[in-house]
Amino acid sequence: MENKKITSALISVFDKSNLKPLIKELVHNDVTLYSTGGTKNFIQDLGYEVLAVEDLTGYPSILGGRVKTLHPKIFGGILKRSNNENDSIEMEKFQIPSFDLVVVDLYPFEKTVAENASETDIIEKIDIGGIALIRAAAKNFNNVFCISDKDDYANFISLYKKSKGAPSLKERKEYSIKAFHISSNYDTAIFNHFNKDQNRLKLSISNAKVLRYGENPHQKGYFYGSFSDLLDQINGKEISYNNLLDIDSAINLMLEFYQGSPAFGIFKHNNACGFAVRDKLNEAFLASLDGDPISAFGGVLISNKIIDLITATEINKLFFEVLIAPGYDSKALELLKVKKNRIILVQKENSQSNQVLRSCLNGILVQDKDLKTDKKNDLKYVTKKSPLPNETEDLLFASKICKHTKSNTIVLAKNKQLIGSGTGQTSRVDALNQAIKKAKNFGFDLKNAVMASDAFFPFPDCVEIANSEGINSVIQPGGSIKDNLSVDYCDANEMSMVLTGIRHFKH
Separation of alpha carbons 468 and 195, rounded Å: 55
Q: What is the pLDDT of residue 378?
A: 94
Task: Quote the Cα angle for 78-80-82, to 5°.
Answer: 125
Give the pTM. Answer: 0.84
Q: What is the pLDDT of residue 226?
A: 87
With 70 as the cut, is the pLDDT of residue 318 above it? Answer: yes
The residues that are catalytic are 139, 269
With 90 as the cut, is the pLDDT of residue 144 above it? Answer: yes
**Based on C-alpha coordinates, what's the Rg of the chain?**
31
With 90 as the cut, is the pLDDT of residue 257 above it? Answer: yes
Counting every residue, how long is the chain?
Answer: 507
Mean pLDDT of 82-102: 88
pLDDT digits (tens, 9 = 90+) for 338-379: 999 999 999 997 667 788 999 999 998 989 999 999 999 999
Separation of alpha carbons 354 and 372, rounded Å: 12
CA 391 to chain centre: 36
Q: What is the mean pLDDT of the chain?
A: 93
Mean pLDDT of 455-472: 96
Beta strands in 455-495 (DSSP E): 473-476
Separation of alpha carbons 294 and 205, rounded Å: 38
With 70 as the cut, is the pLDDT of residue 409 above it? Answer: yes
pLDDT digits (tens, 9 = 90+) for 76-90: 989 998 888 888 888
With 80 as the cut, is the pLDDT of residue 234 above it? Answer: yes
pLDDT digits (tens, 9 = 90+) for 266-302: 999 999 999 999 999 999 999 999 999 999 999 999 9
Mean pLDDT of 319-345: 97
- Contact, 64 vs 83, CB < 8 A? no
- The residue with greater pLDDT, 109 or 278, is 278
